[in-house]
Amino acid sequence: MRNGDGAGWVPGRRFAARSAPLLLALFIFGIYLLGLHPGVDAGDSAELQLNAPLLGICHPPGYQIEVTFGWLWLLLPLGGNVAWRMNLLMAVMGVVGCLALYGSVRRVTGQTLPAVFS
């Protein structure tokens, strides 16, 4: 192994190991976009969509991290209404969570394929 990339000296494997996170992120984000709700949803997501622009307080436990990130996200000049932009933020955070899991499994196993499937 070289530099702990788990791919050894084989050029094709090294390319696959380095491009896997990007391809995984694009694949997962595409799936999220296909199911992205265009407006206000029900339940906790509606409460988050309402309270993020106001920096309000949701019901306990409060979701303060999501409210704060949502408020910062809504400052970005993205198109669409507030509900759609908050749903887009949740999709981006879902991809970040999946990439964190990928990185953790990759680090523990030293292999790309198990990390991608996790």
Q: What percent of the chain has pLDDT over 70?
A: 87
Instruction: Taking residues 6-19, report their average pLDDT.
Output: 65
pLDDT in tens, 58-77: 877 767 888 889 999 999 99
Nearest CA to 89 among 33, 15, 18?
33
> Is pLDDT at 53 greater than 60 in this prediction?
yes
Q: What is the DSSP string of 53-116?
A: HHT---STT--HHHHHHHHHHHTS---S-HHHHHHHHHHHHHHHHHHHHHHHHHHHH--HHHHH
Identify residue 103 by its one-letter amino acid code.
Answer: G
Contact at 8 Å (CB) between 58 and 71? no
Distances (CA, A) of 75 to 10, 42, 52, 55, 56: 45, 24, 11, 12, 16
pTM (2 d.p.)? 0.76
